[in-house]
Amino acid sequence: MRYDILTIFPKLIAAEISEGIVKRAIEKGLIEVHIHDLRGWTTDIRKTVDDRIFGGGPGMLLQIEPIYKALKGIGVYPDRPDTTKILLTSARGETWNQNTAHKYAVEVERIVIICGRYEGVDFRVIEHLIDAEISIGDYILTGGELAANIVLDSTARLLPGVLGNENSLIDESHQPGNLDAIEYPQYSRPAVFETAEGQSWSVPEVLMNGNHGEIAKWQKANS
């Protein structure tokens, strides 16, 4: 999988890919992440990427020109295969969930993410340049970089070889086709934890008796 992320704050994306599973996936050659600074496709000395809104209104919009030039520059406009998708992070977009992450991980080979900023983007970007608007929830962020990182992380971990133990995916919460499913509670050592206040918190006995049939019933009942 290749990811191209268009942003005016490249360091916010660079921080995400510098640690953990995503970093290891890059090092293994399982994914590629290319960060593109939109200001690189501007022509004025101030590297302007935003401007005032026609007709009035508060705030500024990301302009269409640097976005258009960036998409052309990375080779995804005007022509691209069906396995390449261009996404815009937007509060008005479809809510990203595990089903969507799974669909992209399975069907897409290249994801291009335009990180929204300010009051959003010139609407012509939405009309002519992208495949979908996506949101990570019903709240407003200062920019789309956090959303881009979530798309990156949630799809990359579904790709073969990215997780150290792919069985970790089997019983996860929010599995495709059943978003309401929640993973059962899990415990580790010590079996009994004593707090400094004198409280004793124990692991359910059924999980320690070695009866896999009873354990499976308990897990099903608690998920």
Q: Which helix (H) or strand (E) holds 192?
A: strand 192-194
Higher-scoring residue by pLDDT: 95, 140: 95
Amino acid letter, 196 = A
Average pLDDT over residues 175-202: 82
pLDDT single digits (tens) 110-119: 999 999 988 8
Average pLDDT over residues 126-153: 95
Confidence of residue 126 (pLDDT cuts 50, 70, 90): very high
Q: Which of 132, 138, 114, 17 is nearest to 66 (CA)?
A: 114
Directed axis angle between helix 98-107 and helix 145-156, to 10°? 70
Question: What does the pLDDT read at residue 174?
Answer: 47
Give the least confident one: 34-43, 149-158, 205-214.
205-214
Buried (b) or exposed (e) across 16-50, using 16+ Cβ within 10 A? bbeeeebeebbeeeebebebbbbeebbeeeeeebb
Higher-scoring residue by pLDDT: 177, 16: 16
Structure tokens at 57: 């209104």
Position 135 pLDDT exceeds 70: yes
Q: Which of 140, 26, 8, 132 is nearest to 70 (CA)?
A: 8
Position 169 pLDDT exceeds 70: no
Q: Which helix (H) or strand (E) holds 215?
A: helix 212-221
